Amino acid sequence: MEQTSLTQRLDAQRSSVVDLGVALQSRDGTISAVEFLRSRDIDPAVIERVLGEPERRRPPSA
């Protein structure tokens, strides 16, 4: 049970980081967003999906 809680917490943190990356893309451009997400160890496939294919984005975290 403790492992599930930790995984959910990390997923929530990553989700928030991705949301910030998407906002950064709108404000400062794609290169800045990519650099930010890479520096936060977001999976390259996720970066490509959320920044390059906006129609495939999940709804923002609450």
Q: How far is CA 22 from the centre of its chain?
A: 7
Provide the CA 6 distance to its chain's centre, in angstroms: 18
CA torsion sign, 28 to 29 to 31 to 37?
positive
What is the reported pLDDT for 39? Answer: 98
Which residues, at least 6 apart from 23, have a Cβ–Cβ distance to it below 8 Å?
Answer: none
Span 3-61, pLDDT tens digits: 677 667 678 899 999 999 999 999 999 999 999 999 999 999 999 999 998 877 777 65
- Contact assessment for residue 19 and residue 61, using Cβ atoms and an 8 Å cutoff: yes
Identify the pLDDT of residue 21: 96
Per the CB < 8 A criterion, the answer to whether 24 and 33 are in contact is: yes
Full-model pTM: 0.79
